[in-house]
């Protein structure tokens, strides 16, 4: 993967745009995220109605996502954690795009390549719009025949993208190879190992990570740290082991949005990762286990800041029991 850390051709090092404070960028991130969801809703309707897809609008949206990631990636990643099951397909595609863009930044990819990665993420599931809705929205286990139909979605996606002007090979690869498995057991072409492009291997990991960390009609969300552990267990079978290692390093063991417990007994959501260690740097505490009470949201620093020592110490992930009160991430950001 050493070939991905090339300098940009536009004279701007990757990820080195003007940084913004998290709270400031959060305002832009919310608007960009909603714009992207609305755009994909329109794209989906066009596909279903056999109407033209405005590829330039998708590419422009990719630029907005990329610029937000440049300014403060944590903000857009946080917003990407806010989901509703009824909007799963659109929000999933947007978040795959966000996480792919962030992964590309982490790997030091060229700016133009990151933009194409993001576009591929946005469009990677448009083929699903040509799958009958009764199969697409089914909450029970798919029958073998129904799964055969689902496996056609990347081919539909490929066909749709070939009819659009200016779709790059990189974007096409992301959109059509994200269901291929490293051991050759994936679809639609059963590609194996390095026969799957780097971008397809990246998309496969990101696609799975996002799908497993959000609530769906038929399946509840799993904690990000638990999903990363599952992905690690699937290296060499479903996923390229080197891509898995890089992705976990990029996201951190406790990704932004993870629910964690501190040594003080406080519970909170990870809001910021340390740039070098990828460990939680800021946790927004919202509950105290010892006192069994909600707390006013407060940012707690777990690393030295402006000469001051850390305010608390990470104890580990927090997995609420059945009787534990619901902590809704959305109301705290």
For the chain, the domain total comes to 2
State the average pLDDT over residues 221-234: 93
Residue 85, pLDDT score: 75
The structure's pTM equals: 0.90
Per-residue pLDDT of 63-98, as tens digits, reads 999 999 999 999 999 999 888 777 889 999 999 999
- How high is the pLDDT of residue 217? 58
3-state secondary structure 200-250: HHHHHHHHHHHHHCCCECCECCCCHHHHHHHHHHCECCCECHHHHHHHHHH
pLDDT of residue 214: 85
The pLDDT value recorded for residue 329 is: 81
Q: Are residues 235 and 306 in the same domain?
A: no
If asked whether residues 75 and 187 sit together in one domain, one would say yes
Q: By residue range, what is the domain housing residue 240?
A: 2-251
User: Does the pLDDT value for residue 8 go beyond 80?
Assistant: no
Q: Can you give the pLDDT at residue 13?
A: 36
Q: Rounded mean pLDDT of 116-125?
A: 97
Same domain for 289 and 237 = no
Residue 114 tokens read as: 């990151």
Same domain, 220 and 292: no
Q: Are both 299 and 203 inside the same structural domain?
A: no
C-beta separation of 41 from 90 below 8 A: yes
Q: Which of 251, 267, 293 is the last residue of a domain?
A: 251
Using a pLDDT cut of 70, give the percent of the chain over it.
94
Long-range pairs of 155-161 with CB within 8 A, sequence gap ≥ 24: 155/127, 155/188, 156/126, 156/127, 156/128, 156/130, 156/131, 157/123, 157/124, 157/125, 157/126, 157/127, 158/127, 158/188, 159/127, 160/47, 160/53, 160/126, 160/127, 160/130, 161/123, 161/126
pLDDT of residue 14 exceeding 50, the answer is no
What average pLDDT does range 310-317 have in this prediction? 96
- Asked if pLDDT for residue 276 goes beyond 50, the answer is yes
Instruction: Give CA angle at 194 (199, 13), nearest 5°.
Output: 35
SS3 for 119-183, per residue?
HHHHHCCHHHHHCCHHHHCCCCCCCHHHHHHHCCHHHHHHHHHHCCCCCCHHHHHHHHHCCCCCC
pLDDT over 90 at 285, yes or no:
yes
Considering the domain architecture, whether residues 275 and 141 belong to the same structural domain is answered as no
Residue 97 burial (CB count, 10 A) = 30
| Same domain? 169 vs 307 | no
Sequential DSSP letters for 256-322 = TT-EEEETTSEEEEEEEE-TTT-SEEEEEEEEETTTTEEEEEEEEESS-BTTBPPS--EEEE----T
- pLDDT at residue 284, as a whole number: 96
Tens digit of pLDDT for each residue in 185-226? Answer: 999 999 999 999 999 999 999 999 999 998 775 577 788 999
CA angle 174, 178, 183 (to 5 degrees): 130
Neighbouring C-beta atoms of residue 36, cutoff 10 Å: 26
pLDDT higher than 90, residue 5:
no
Query: Which pLDDT score is estimated for 17?
Result: 58
Distance CA 310, CA 10 (A): 39
Same domain, 244 and 297: no
Q: Is the predicted pLDDT of residue 6 greater than 80, yes or no?
A: no
pLDDT at 203: 98
pLDDT at position 3 over 50: no
Residues 28-43 have pLDDT tens digits of 999 999 999 999 999 9
243 plus 281 within the same structural domain = no
* Domain finish residue from 223, 251, 279: 251
Domain boundary among 251, 286, 309: 251
Write the pLDDT tens digit of every residue in 46-64: 999 999 999 999 999 999 9
| Mean pLDDT score across all residues of the chain | 90
d(CA 82, CA 34): 11
């Amino acid at each position: 993967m050493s070939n991905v850390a090339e300098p940009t051709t536009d004279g701007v090092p990757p990820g080195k745009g003007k940084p913004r404070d998290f709270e400031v960028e959060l305002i832009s991130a919310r608007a960009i995220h909603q714009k992207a969801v609305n755009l994909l809703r329109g794209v989906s309707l066009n596909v279903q109605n056999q109407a033209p897809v405005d590829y330039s609008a998708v590419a422009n949206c990719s630029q907005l996502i990329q610029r937000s990631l440049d300014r403060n990636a944590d903000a857009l990643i946080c917003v990407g954690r806010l989901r509703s099951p009824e909007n799963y397909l659109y929000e999933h595609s947007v978040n795959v795009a966000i996480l792919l863009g962030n992964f590309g930044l982490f790997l030091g990819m060229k700016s133009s390549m990151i933009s194409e990665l993001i576009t591929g993420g946005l469009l990677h599931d448009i083929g699903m719009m040509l799958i009958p809705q009764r199969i697409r929205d089914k909450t029970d286990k798919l029958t073998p025949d129904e799964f055969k139909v689902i496996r056609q979605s990347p081919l539909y996606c490929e066909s749709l993208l070939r009819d659009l002007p200016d779709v790059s090979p990189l974007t096409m690869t992301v959109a059509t190879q994200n269901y291929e498995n490293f051991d050759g057991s994936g679809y639609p072409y059963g590609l194996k190992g390095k026969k799957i492009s780097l971008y397809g291997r990246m998309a496969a990991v990101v696609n799975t990570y996002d799908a497993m960390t959000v609530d769906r009609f038929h399946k509840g969300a799993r904690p990000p740290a638990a999903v990363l552990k599952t992905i690690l267990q699937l290296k060499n079978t479903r996923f390229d082991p080197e891509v898995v290692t890089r992705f976990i390093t990029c996201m951190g063991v406790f990704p932004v949005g993870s629910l964690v417990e501190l040594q003080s007994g406080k519970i909170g959501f990870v809001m910021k990762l340390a740039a070098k260690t990828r460990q939680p740097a800021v946790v927004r505490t919202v509950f105290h286990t010892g006192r069994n009470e909600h707390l006013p949201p407060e940012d707690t620093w777990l690393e030295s800041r402006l000469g001051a020592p850390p305010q608390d110490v990470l104890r580990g992930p927090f997995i609420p029991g059945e009787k534990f009160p619901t902590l809704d991430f959305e109301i705290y950001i």
